[in-house]
A and B are shown apart, each in its own frame.
Chain A
Amino acid sequence: MTRHAPATARDIAVVAFAQTDHRRTSDDLSEVEMLMPVLHEVLDLTGLRTADIGFTCSGSSDYLAGRAFSFTLALDGVGAWPPISESHVEMDGAWALYEAWTKLLTGDADTALVYAYGKSSPGPLRDVLTRQLDPYYVAPLWPDSVALAALQAQALIDAGDTDESALAAIAARSRSDATANPHAQLRGPVPQGAPLVRPLRTGDCPPIGDGAAAVILAAGERARELCARPAWIRGVDHRIEAHSLGVRDLTDSPSARLAAERAGAFERPVDTAELHAPFTSQEVVLRKALRLDDAVRVNPSGGALAANPVMAAGLVRIGEAAARIHRGDSDRALAHATSGPCLQQNLVAVLEGDPR
């Protein structure tokens, strides 16, 4: 099956994107204080107000915040009065965008506000993420997120797919590209550093930090009214794999490949890809699965290696890809988001600008 968007679908586009500066800590601000300026900025870009928005959807995590129902107070920043049509996913904001996209497809709404935020600074992130793992066989061992990524990296090295110098080159390219990204946390020359969990060095790992992002979607003519060059979502799909690392081929990402296929990514080449690869080794996996050759500009923003606000980093990829189309720097871009240990779950969106 090659269908990647419903046959009768309306055209839906990303028309605006805003993000915070991503910082090691934002302990001077509550979550809503961190988020609200981004909501204002993205609305200002379109001239819309909260009351004009047809549907609102957000992504965040209670475990990151260390508090139950943490998303309910973030809603204060939206100004949900009169009451709004609104939903929340306990996932990266990229999946909130997916939910909003389906809502617009139904015709129930013509515009959507999508936002995501995450503060990784309050908790021990590497340990917090162990709570995502099989609660009977794996979580009791507390294997942290860097350790799991290192197991994947070693599998890639053993398979001859990469080596430490190739990984270092990915790290260097990402931080070098991030010099052009004023929001990035890690920019310019960053030493590869000592092994953190071998074979991964500190340079192979994402910075830990806090941040938020927001996107506005609009359908059809509404998108053209709100944005000079909308980033049309030609397809978006997401897939999940088995949970246990021991049953998966860690050198491949069949879920990313399938999502890309369903999103129509392989029908024509893309010129740009924003990949949510928090670890250098994961870019190797994704490039292979998504069939990205050297002609594709990968992570011009610096990617998650330059800023990785957990729960928002996937939405940032879609926003960055869309922003390049808005600016005319790209005509067809792939954006990717991931969730779970070692790329367990992957989302792929294909964005295009109108011909110039």
Chain B
Amino acid sequence: MPEVLKAPLVVEFPFTRSLGPVQSAFLTGLRERVVLGVKTRDGRTLVPPVEYDPVTAEEIRDLVEVAPTGTVTTWAWNHEPRRDQPLDTPFAWVLVRLDGADTALLHALDAPGPDSVHTGMRVRVRWAQERAGAITDIACFEPYDGEPAEPAGHSGEFDDAVTGIVAAARLDYTYSPGRAQSAYINALSDRRTVGERCPSCRKVYVPPRGACPTCGVATSEQVEVGPGGTVTTFCVVNIKAKNLDIEVPYVYAHIALDGAGLALHGRIGGIPYDQVRMGLRVEPVWTEGARYPDHYRPTGEPDADYDTYKELP
């Protein structure tokens, strides 16, 4: 059996997150080097401030400034920082209860080594040089042996408050399509379309996905289908899809290759878009180096009877 395929899959997007009033105030405060908490009705001060009381579920909006100094409540030494973490040299993850707060904030602590960190140690915020209204405006915490800082009593009202953040996230996966699809993709490189037959219902699946979805059993017998096929249905695409260099209008069709139990999808070319019809007989047109046919073009055969393809989805 040929080797199964693998390739990188990058899942990356800059998510645009609106904040709501409490988170807006907190992150704007960080930009202005002010740390805000939120008071619950029973008098606890939550830092970082959340919108809803985790105990009572009440909406809470009563902002109060706390100190940028505090105490480590627990810690963990990170020997090998990972991509996107706050520091690129070894550091401690810490939960810090800031002076004036009743709950703890998660962040990084810049310290020389694990032996210099302990629960109960005093720390203070190290502000980022450039701040935009984000949790990363706190660059990290650093050891601090002075008195608790006195908060200035900020009201939590700001001019030009940030209302959103852009949270870019990238994850790098390795995608492997598995046995059946690897075989299909490998055959495509010889410009052959090879499906798999279900041992139970005898239908031929193209592309094969490893299981006959109606019988729930493995498919394995390989069956070459096509190259000719029938357009079972289609639409005319009039808007340009992003990242696709195809002139509109074009026809996007479901094509049942001869011998296949169901249709696959492809573009129809070599015929004006408004002359494509259900039942049209087509064949693939390959271009050098492409994994899939560039498009399908009419074979010139007479159209297929509706009854021959109406049950091929």
Q: Per the CB under 8 Å rule, do A and B touch in the complex? A: yes
Kindly state whether residue B176 has any CB partner on chain A within 8 Å: yes
Q: Is the CB of A36 within 8 A of B211?
A: yes
Q: Smallest distance from the beta carbon of B202 to chain A beta carbons, Å?
A: 15
Q: Is the CB of A127 within 8 A of B214?
A: no
Kindly state whether residue A220 has any CB partner on chain B within 8 Å: no
Kindly state whether residue B6 has any CB partner on chain A within 8 Å: yes
Q: Smallest distance from the beta carbon of B63 to chain A beta carbons, Å?
A: 15
**Chain A residues with CB under 8 A of B161:** none
Q: From the candidates A36, A138, A143, A148, name the one contacting B216 in the complex (CB within 8 A).
A: A36
A247 to B165, CA, bound (A): 24
Kindly state whether residue A154 has any CB partner on chain B within 8 Å: yes
A196 to B81, CA, bound (A): 11
Given A197-B77, A200-B76: A28 and B103 interface contact (C-beta under 8 Å): no
Kindly state whether residue B293 has any CB partner on chain A within 8 Å: no
Q: Smallest distance from the beta carbon of A279 to chain B beta carbons, Å?
A: 12
Q: Smallest distance from the beta carbon of A240 to chain B beta carbons, Å?
A: 11
Q: Smallest distance from the beta carbon of A221 to chain B beta carbons, Å?
A: 27
**Chain A residues with CB under 8 A of B179:** 28-30, 33
Kindly state whether residue A293 has any CB partner on chain B within 8 Å: no
Given A33-B180, A36-B216, A136-B27: A144 and B82 interface contact (C-beta under 8 Å): yes
Given A76-B216, A140-B135: A246 and B77 interface contact (C-beta under 8 Å): no
Interface membership of chain B positions 34-61, coded 1 if the CB is closer than 8 angstroms to chain A and 0 otherwise: 0000000000001110100011000000
Interface residues of B in 7-37 (CB under 8 A from A): 9, 11, 15, 17, 19, 23, 26-27
**Chain A residues with CB under 8 A of B83:** 127, 142
**Chain B residues with CB under 8 A of A200:** 76
**Chain B residues with CB under 8 A of A80:** 213-214, 216
Q: Is the CB of A142 within 8 A of B84?
A: yes
Kindly state whether residue B277 has any CB partner on chain A within 8 Å: no
A220 to B239, CA, bound (A): 58
**Chain A residues with CB under 8 A of B167:** 135-136, 139-140
A136 to B46, CA, bound (A): 15
Kindly state whether residue A24 has any CB partner on chain B within 8 Å: no
Kindly state whether residue B125 has any CB partner on chain A within 8 Å: no
Q: Smallest distance from the beta carbon of B95 to chain A beta carbons, Å?
A: 5
Kindly state whether residue A27 has any CB partner on chain B within 8 Å: yes
Q: Is the CB of B215 within 8 A of A198?
A: no
Given A124-B171, A135-B167, A144-B82: A66 and B135 interface contact (C-beta under 8 Å): no
Q: Is the CB of B210 within 8 A of A32?
A: yes
A153 to B99, CA, bound (A): 24
**Nearest opposing residue in chain A for B217, CB measure:** A79
Instruction: Of the listed stretches B105-113, B149-157, B240-248, name the one at the interface; the rest are far from the partner chain.
Output: B105-113
Kindly state whether residue A78 has any CB partner on chain B within 8 Å: yes
Q: Smallest distance from the beta carbon of A340 to chain B beta carbons, Å?
A: 14
Interface residues of B in 134-177 (CB under 8 A from A): 134-136, 165, 167, 169, 171-177
A289 to B27, CA, bound (A): 36
**Nearest opposing residue in chain A for B104, CB measure:** A246
Q: Is the CB of A158 within 8 A of B11?
A: no
**Chain B residues with CB under 8 A of A142:** 82-85
A27 to B134, CA, bound (A): 38
Q: Smallest distance from the beta carbon of B33 to chain A beta carbons, Å?
A: 17
**Chain A residues with CB under 8 A of B6:** 27
Kindly state whether residue B181 has any CB partner on chain A within 8 Å: yes
Interface membership of chain A positions 276-314, coded 1 if the CB is closer than 8 angstroms to chain B and 0 otherwise: 000000000000000000000000000000000000000
Given A32-B209, A135-B167, A143-B106: A122 and B93 interface contact (C-beta under 8 Å): no
Q: Is the CB of A138 within 8 A of B79?
A: no
A143 to B76, CA, bound (A): 11
Interface residues of A in 179-236 (CB under 8 A from B): 194-200
Kindly state whether residue B228 has any CB partner on chain A within 8 Å: no
Q: Is the CB of B17 within 8 A of A136?
A: yes
Q: Is the CB of A137 within 8 A of B176?
A: no
A80 to B181, CA, bound (A): 21
Q: Is the CB of B106 within 8 A of A122?
A: no
Q: Is the CB of B173 within 8 A of A123?
A: yes
Rank and list the top 9 A-B pairs by shortest CB-CB distance, nearest first: A79-B216, A30-B178, A150-B76, A242-B54, A246-B104, A81-B214, A198-B77, A66-B173, A76-B213
10 intermolecular pairs with C-beta atoms under 8 Å apart: A27-B176, A30-B210, A32-B210, A76-B213, A122-B174, A124-B172, A137-B48, A141-B136, A195-B77, A197-B77
